[in-house]
Structure 1
Amino acid sequence: MSQPIEVDRAAAGQLWADYRASRPFLPDEPDVPVECFGDSPELADELIAFVIDGPKRATAGLVAAYAADGDELSRIGAHWVACDGSGAPRVVLRTHELRVGPLHSVDASFAWDEGEYDRSLESWLDSHRRFFRRECERIGIEFSDDLEVVFERFRIVWPPELAD
């Protein structure tokens, strides 16, 4: 397991400020999360490329990992800044759908929307079971297909040339 990625908060703040300046009607969100997908620089680069190149419009995370890290679950309408493996902010995302359920409840539609690899349910389960096992080891719990997962769909809202 690699070290956490140090994100460039100043650059993320500027990306967020640019987006906010273009949308003055949005409610204030003082603590917009700045995060990377995955758990290594290599995986973060791979996954942000899936977002920027178009097919990835969903993500999934263990509820237990959110709790262990002291992070709140996302909410519909919330924004976050996604960074690459070097910690550089690349896009502002906005959550438009959330569901919490056991890992085994994922369906083919969600796997397709997550836009990774061949986009099949089998591939999704294989890669996410591996990732969630690493997360469970990191936070000290036992892996199970019954663990609660946040299934989140999002849109790119900034920069404008990438916005959905």
Structure 2
Amino acid sequence: MSESGHSPSKVSADAQRLFEDYCESLPDDERPELAGAFSFGDSRTLADTLVDLVYMGEKTATAPAKWTLEANDESIPEPGDHWVVLDGKGEPRCVIQTTDVEEVPFADVSADHATAEGEGDGSLAYWRETHLDYYRRTLPEGRSFDREIPVVCERFKIVYCA
């Protein structure tokens, strides 16, 4: 499964440099702020797999649990935010721009969103199974999984590659 939070406080010099390279490719009046840097997943292997899916254009969405973002003092993405995506070693691989954000209960995540995450067979059943496992592993202490946990469904597009 895929999600890690979005943390503006964890931006390495290499990630900042990649973002600056992206900004230099834009007109001065169109240069955005950097919202932060993050990797997908909760392991190096998963982070590498998922950033590769982003590169291939298969992954254009993610869905962290809102409770996890809050517990880690991580910001909830907003449309227009720009993020550096890191691989499993913490190396910057690309810049993405958030295009849409919707908070819904786990049970209401759509099949369209599951497909946009680009994982497994792209089905809602696969998404639910893998995300259920992921949320059970990563929810903050004192929280437990149920079908009503708030999920932050984010859509994004890749805007710059390393």
TM-score, normalising length from structure 1? Answer: 0.87
- Match for residue 159 of structure 2? 157
Tell me the distance in 2 between the aligned counterparts of 1:8 and 1:148: 26
SS at match of 2:157: strand
Aligned counterpart for 1:25 among listed residues 14, 29, 44: 29
* C-alpha displacement of 1:21: 1.2
Aligned length: 153
Tell me the distance in 2 between the aligned counterparts of 1:103 and 1:52: 26
Tell me the distance in 2 between the aligned counterparts of 1:52 and 1:140: 36
- Runs of at least 5 residues in structure 2 that lack an aligned partner in the other structure: 5-9
TM-score, normalising length from structure 2? Answer: 0.88
SS at match of 1:125: helix
- Match for residue 102 of structure 1? 105
* C-alpha displacement of 1:46: 1.1
Q: Is the 8 A contact 1:8 1:88 kept in 2?
A: no
- Match for residue 143 of structure 2? 141
- Match for residue 47 of structure 2? 44
- Match for residue 135 of structure 2? 132
SS at match of 1:20: helix
1:124-163 Cα deviation digits (max 9, x unpaired)? 1111111111112x44311111000100000000028xxx
Percent of pairs with identical residues: 37
- Runs of at least 5 residues in structure 1 that lack an aligned partner in the other structure: none
Q: Is the 8 A contact 1:65 1:139 kept in 2?
A: no
Which residue type is aligned with residue 127 of structure 1? T
Please tell me the root mean square deviation across aligned C-alpha atoms, in Å: 1.8
SS at match of 2:143: coil
